[in-house]
């Protein structure tokens, strides 16, 4: 740890205090992500995270009250990244609802496939953990609001709201099952099946 302290002092020589703190926080979050992706919540001991980040433990408490707060930051980082990927994919797909639906589903599943740790953070480990469960609920609400916004209706009728709610719940579960590896490895087949069911639900309302 002495070597870590020496390296840290050299790394941040002349760097403003606020920026140093932000960089250390980011290092801790990235270290926690690596540990969580590999070993789940049990891997997130304070000393283990600091060792992975090559930082003294005092820097942990400079940024986080405990590992639960750190875990929330890890989730938020990945959720923000997924949100950006999803928004870009849907925007690039153009105005057609079927194309936007396909692009959105593919973007979510591809995001998980590109780095399986993302699925573990965002979906696979959220059950039974209140920190992650609360964020999953908030993310699902945001997704529902986004789906309703795509209807371009200020006050969508109840059947549309019900269909959007069902789609949102199904999409969350689809991502969960994909992250857990229960849907195989054929991304195109999963996307095709999900899109067909989604469009059938849309046509029904």
pLDDT tens track for 135-184: 888 888 888 887 777 666 678 888 888 888 888 888 888 998 998 889 99
Instruction: Give the integer Cα–Cα distance in Å for 170 and 65.
Output: 35
Tokens 């991304």, residue? Answer: 187
- For residue 134, the Cα-to-chain-centroid distance in whole angstroms is 13
pLDDT value at residue 126: 55
pLDDT value at residue 10: 61
pLDDT value at residue 108: 92
Instruction: Give the integer Cα–Cα distance in Å for 93 and 84.
Output: 14
pLDDT value at residue 184: 94
Is 67 within 8 Å of 48 (Cβ atoms)?
no
pLDDT in tens, 24-36: 999 999 999 999 9
Closest CA to 139 of 162, 152, 121, 153: 121
Secondary structure of 159-180 in HEC code, one letter for each residue: HHHHHHHHHHHHHHHHHHHHHC
Maximum Cα–Cα distance across the chain: 65
Tokens 């433990």, residue? Answer: 57
């Amino acid at each position: 740890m002495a070597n870590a302290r020496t390296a840290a002092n050299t790394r941040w020589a002349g760097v403003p205090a606020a920026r140093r703190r932000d960089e250390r926080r980011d290092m801790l979050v990235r270290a926690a992500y690596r540990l969580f992706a590999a070993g789940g919540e049990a891997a997130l001991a304070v000393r283990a995270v600091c060792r992975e980040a090559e930082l003294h433990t005092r820097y942990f408490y400079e940024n986080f009250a405990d590992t639960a707060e750190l875990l929330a930051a890890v989730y938020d980082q990945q959720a923000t990244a997924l949100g950006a990927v999803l928004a870009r994919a849907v925007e690039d797909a153009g105005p057609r609802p079927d194309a936007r639906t396909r692009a959105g589903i593919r973007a979510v599943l591809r995001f998980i496939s590109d780095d399986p740790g993302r699925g573990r953070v965002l979906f696979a480990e959220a059950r039974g953990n209140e920190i992650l469960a609360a964020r999953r609920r908030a993310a699902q609400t945001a997704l529902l609001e986004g789906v309703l916004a795509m209807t371009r209706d200020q006050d969508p009728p109840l059947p549309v709201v019900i269909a959007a709610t069902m789609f949102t719940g199904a999409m969350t579960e689809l991502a969960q099952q994909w992250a857990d590896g229960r849907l195989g490895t054929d991304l195109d087949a999963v996307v095709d099946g999900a899109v067909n069911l989604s469009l059938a639900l849309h046509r029904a309302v």
